[in-house]
Structure 1
Amino acid sequence: MLCVVCNITESKYRCPKCKTRYCSGPCYKEHVCTVCDHPGEVQEIDVSYPKLQDLLFPTDDTVLPQMLEKLKESTHLCSMLTNPHLRDILVQVDSSEKVEKHIQAAMMEPIFTQFVDVCLSIVDPQENDSDSSMD
């Protein structure tokens, strides 16, 4: 799909708020966000993290936002994200309209499965410990 701003280059990204497809930083800044009505402006949001009992539909697999925040702090994860192949896979999954299909394909890539394992070990370290004790 082409960038909705310049209509020249293939879109690689989506606005996190309105999901508009764009190709670059300049096009992102130029797009008119239908959600926040401010072109390309990222608004700071006051985030107070919910507790598990406050979530609408928690499951056994629900990961609390506090645990997801730990992903940002991982130097190992950050170093993995310097791999252009991994970033391309993540962009494909994120921008796909058929996410399940792209995740299945991505799971065939060793770099992606390693990335998933590192993410899981960060957000659920006890689960990871119990898996390794079964080996």
Structure 2
Amino acid sequence: MGPRLCQVCNEAQSKYKCPSCRAPYCSVPCFKKHKETPCVLPEEKPESASVLPVPSEEKPTAAPESVVERPITVTEASAVLERQQLEAIASSSEICDALKDESLQRLIESIDCSPDAENELDKAMDVEMFRIFTDKILSTINP
């Protein structure tokens, strides 16, 4: 399967997928135009993996989804967050306020979009703002 075209402008190669309906798009302006019309995630088959829903009032502002696909390998069960930990993160006003910072958003996006995310994460730990953010998350999930 070759590169997919943006379903909004039909001109550029899509780099992202809508988190709601998985429609491919190429840029933030195309994403915003796409979101002018409500969309929904196509129904999944029952045997597919389930995803924990985030209540709509707690959803962060929509961000482009990365096209970098990495297999998720968990060697320790303790590395997987439990639902209550995810809910604690989502309901933390401190974490939500920190996520409003555009430079933090860009840093997180650069980690997420990187083909070598682990290396980018290591570099990000040298940035004080990111280190403070990760400390807030850790103190939220491990009070």
TM-score by length of structure 1 reads 0.59
**1: distance between equivalents of 2:17 and 2:122?**
21
The structure having more radius of gyration, on CA atoms, is 1
- Bigger mean CA deviation after superposition, 112-121 or 56-65: 56-65
For structure 2, the residue ranges without an aligned partner over 5 or more in a row are 44-49, 54-73
- The answer for the alignment partner of 2:90 in structure 1 is 72
- Richer in helix (by share): 1
**Does 1:4 pair with 2:11?**
no
Segments of 5+ residues of structure 1 without an aligned counterpart are 31-38, 49-55, 126-135
Work out the CA distance in 2 between the residues paired with 1:77 and 1:101: 23
TM-score normalised to structure 2 length: 0.56
Please point out which of 84, 96, 104 is paired with 2:122.
Answer: 104
**Is 1:91–2:91 an aligned residue pair?**
no
Number of equivalent positions = 108
* Distance across 1 between alignment mates of 2:41 and 2:36: 9
Report the aligned-residue RMSD.
3.9
Identical columns (%) = 22
The question of whether the paired residues in 2 share the 8 Å contact of 1:14 and 1:95 is answered with no
Compute the displacement of 1:59 (Å).
1.9
